[in-house]
Amino acid sequence: MELHRLGQPPTNKQPGTDPVLLPSNIKDELQAVLTDPRQKATFLAATAPHSGDWLNALPIASCGLRLDDEAVRVAVTLCLGISVCVPHSCSCRENVDAWGQHAFETGVE
């Protein structure tokens, strides 16, 4: 089954690269059952217009557009709201949670 934006004809793009837009009533129902702020933020980000546009960027290294495998892994896991790493202690002795939130707060891994 080919996924495409609802209400728009299929394009010549690779199947599955465009986010599927949800009817607003279904989006509202899904959002209403999300109680965890992280889940809610992930859902809103994933359903926002152009949220998947980065997947269409050509991986041109000279323009800084090529992501290595680890960068893609982290980006995809963050988009899906799943854990990025095993919780551990940072070298600064702060705890790093499964979503790597500490890295965004301090700029270190």
Binding region for Zn ion (CB under 5 A): 90, 92, 94, 106, 108
SS3 of residue 59 by DSSP: coil
Residue 18 or 96: which CB sits closer to Zn ion? 96
Q: How far is the CB of 90 from Zn ion (least distance, A)?
A: 3
Q: How far is the CB of 107 from Zn ion (least distance, A)?
A: 9
CB-based contacts of 38: which residues, under 8 Å, 6+ apart? 81, 99
List C-alpha distances in Å: 101 to 13, 16, 84, 105: 33, 28, 9, 7
Residue 60 or 92: which CB sits closer to Zn ion? 92
Residue 11 or 83: which CB sits closer to Zn ion? 83
